[in-house]
């Protein structure tokens, strides 16, 4: 369990979780993940930036021992969530001289969630600096990534940025510097859609703070280090922008193929009109792929049969998750079938109170779709394409 050098005096000492497949009992992580921790050594002081998930504290201690660390002056906590601070109690027991540096809001969370003694905690000011001897840490408050207490840490001399969960990805690796940049961006978009998208507006407001720092390396708390920061910064600018793409996401469930045939027909008609379409059958959906598609889509379509007068539970769940993720989509449509009646459409629309979506149409049919229903789906596809054209989406 050796440390991995990032640059002179800075090493990765975290843990790789190759086997994890679900995060927070909700988010699929098909490529595993990492719990990154970074050792920064100056001539006068030694600092650890972020601790690992508690299940991997032995790995962290082994790497620190191999690095010859006998004293830690400070542990910087960019984010108080347990996958980044869970090893903190054991770490403070091992290094009784260490002081924890975090935002004032993080102090309270660390006491409440982990039982960290308050006397071991020190709040850092926004823009505050800590001299380590040849290296200087700058602390920049950057709230709502994705908790209210978060900050980022910057090593001024080396221009290495530690942004916490920001710019992260659930992607296991062999070494933090050797991952394929293209694969990393794919997983970073997925991570953004799952974790960061609900906080898009506040992150966009704060992004200039990072642009002003002009980092040479970006070392997030999950996933590989970005050796070419322009790539991830440009990607985030696109994902954070208010204007969506000329794309539609269709999420559906079907009990007797009636709804399935309708969404397939609609998807084909949208494609013929130049709208990029992604269909997600919710029985076997990867939630992360759905979240990724929602990052850019201008239109969301829910397809559902009517179950006991309401939406299929899988579709209702997808609507609830979509509302929580707060994508920048502009338009909504509902299609589906019913046996005798119900309020499926109204229920789905009611599950999206936090989104500013224009309902551009709904096509509901009793049983299987008839010629008139197919014509209505064609009209719906034309309406969506017109709305996209009106916004000049690309």
Residues 144 and 275 in one domain: no
Q: How many CA atoms lie within 13 A of 223 on its CB side?
A: 29
Query: Residue 241 has which token pair?
Result: 């922008």
Distance CA 159, CA 43 (A): 18
Given 177, 209, 240, which residue is the final one in a domain? Answer: 240
Per-residue pLDDT band at 219 (split at 50, 70, 90): very high
Residues 235 and 279 in one domain: no
Closest CA to 91 of 61, 63, 115, 123: 61
Residues 52 and 125 in one domain: yes
Quick: pLDDT tens for 226-259.
999 999 999 999 999 999 999 999 999 999 999 9
Residues 91 and 220 in one domain: yes
Quick: pLDDT tens for 286-314.
999 999 999 999 999 999 999 999 999 99
Contacts for 342 with CB less than 8 Å, ≥ 6 apart: 306, 308, 309, 310
Per-residue pLDDT band at 341 (split at 50, 70, 90): confident
Given 192, 213, 240, which residue is the final one in a domain? Answer: 240
Report yes or no on 394 lying in a domain: no
Please report, for the domain that includes residue 91, its CATH number.
3.60.15.10
Given 240, 268, 296, which residue is the final one in a domain? Answer: 240
Q: What is the mean pLDDT of residues 114-134?
A: 97
Report yes or no on 322 lying in a domain: yes
Q: What is the mean pLDDT of residues 303-328?
A: 97
Distance CA 177, CA 223 (A): 10
Q: Is the pLDDT of residue 22 over 90?
A: yes
Q: Is the pLDDT of residue 348 over 90?
A: yes
Residues 274 and 202 in one domain: no
Q: Is the dihedral of CA 213, 225, 325, 381 positive or negative?
A: positive
Residues 79 and 58 in one domain: yes
Residues 174 and 126 in one domain: yes
Quick: pLDDT tens for 36-81.
999 999 999 999 999 999 999 999 999 999 999 999 999 999 999 9
Residues 307 and 357 in one domain: yes
Q: Is the pLDDT of residue 122 over 90?
A: yes
Residues 228 and 257 in one domain: no
| 246: region left, alpha or beta (phi > 0 left; psi from -120 to 50 alpha) | beta
Q: Is the pLDDT of residue 214 over 90?
A: yes
Number of domains in the chain: 2
Residues 203 and 137 in one domain: yes
Q: What is the mean pLDDT of residues 318-340?
A: 97
Distance CA 73, CA 100 (A): 9
Distance CA 209, CA 175 (A): 28
Residues 358 and 222 in one domain: no
Quote the pLDDT of residue 309: 94
Distance CA 172, CA 272 (A): 39
Please report, for the domain that includes residue 359, its CATH number.
3.40.50.360
Q: What is the mean pLDDT of residues 309-337?
A: 97
For tokens 């006491």, name the residue: 111
Quote the pLDDT of residue 85: 96
- Model pTM score: 0.96
Distance CA 223, CA 163 (A): 12
Quote the pLDDT of residue 167: 98
User: In 241-369, where does DSSP find H-type helix?
Assistant: 258-272, 287-294, 313-325, 344-350
Closest CA to 114 of 132, 91, 131: 91
Quick: pLDDT tens for 257-278.
999 999 999 999 999 999 999 9
SS3 225: coil
Distance CA 225, CA 219 (A): 5
Q: Is the pLDDT of residue 191 over 90?
A: yes
Expressed as residue numbers, the domain containing 87 is 4-240
């Amino acid at each position: 369990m050796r440390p991995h050098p990032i640059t002179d005096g800075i090493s990765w000492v975290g843990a790789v979780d190759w086997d994890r497949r679900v995060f927070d009992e909700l988010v699929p992580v098909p490529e595993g993940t990492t719990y990154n921790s970074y050792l920064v050594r100056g001539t006068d002081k030694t600092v650890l930036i972020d601790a690992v998930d508690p299940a991997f504290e032995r790995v962290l201690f082994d790497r620190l021992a191999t690095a010859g660390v006998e004293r830690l002056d400070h542990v910087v906590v960019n984010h108080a969530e347990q996958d980044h601070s869970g090893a903190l109690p054991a770490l403070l027991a091992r290094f009784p001289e260490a002081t924890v540096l975090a935002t004032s809001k993080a102090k309270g969370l660390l006491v409440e969630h982990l039982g960290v003694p308050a006397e071991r905690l020190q709040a850092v000011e926004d823009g505050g600096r800590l001299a380590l001897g040849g290296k200087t840490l700058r602390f920049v408050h950057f709230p709502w990534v994705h908790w209210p207490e978060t900050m980022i840490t910057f090593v001024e001399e080396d221009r290495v940025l530690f942004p916490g969960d920001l710019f992260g990805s659930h992607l296991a690796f062999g070494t933090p510097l050797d991952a394929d940049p293209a694969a990393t961006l794919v997983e970073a978009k997925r991570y953004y859609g799952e974790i960061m998208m609900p906080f898009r507006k506040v992150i966009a407001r704060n992004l200039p703070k990072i642009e002003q720092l002009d980092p040479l390396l970006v070392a997030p708390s999950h996933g590989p280090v970005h050796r070419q920061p322009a790539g991830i910064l440009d990607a985030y600018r696109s994902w954070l922008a208010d204007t969506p793409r000329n794309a539609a996401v269709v999420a559906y469930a079907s009990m007797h193929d009636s709804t399935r045939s309708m969404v397939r027909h609609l998807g084909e008609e949208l494609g013929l009109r130049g709208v990029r379409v992604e269909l997600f059958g919710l029985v076997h959906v990867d939630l992360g792929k759905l979240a990724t598609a929602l990052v850019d889509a201008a239109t969301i379509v829910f397809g559902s049969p009517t179950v006991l007068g309401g939406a299929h539970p899988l579709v209702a769940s997808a609507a609830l998750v979509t509302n929580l993720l707060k994508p920048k989509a502009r338009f909504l449509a509902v299609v589906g079938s019913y046996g005798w009646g119900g309020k499926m459409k109204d229920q789905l629309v009611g599950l999206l109170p936090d989104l500013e979506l224009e309902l551009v149409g709904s096509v509901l049919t009793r049983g299987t779709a008839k010629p008139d229903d197919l014509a209505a789906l064609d009209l719906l596809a034309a309406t969506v394409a017109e709305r996209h054209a009106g916004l000049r989406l690309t």
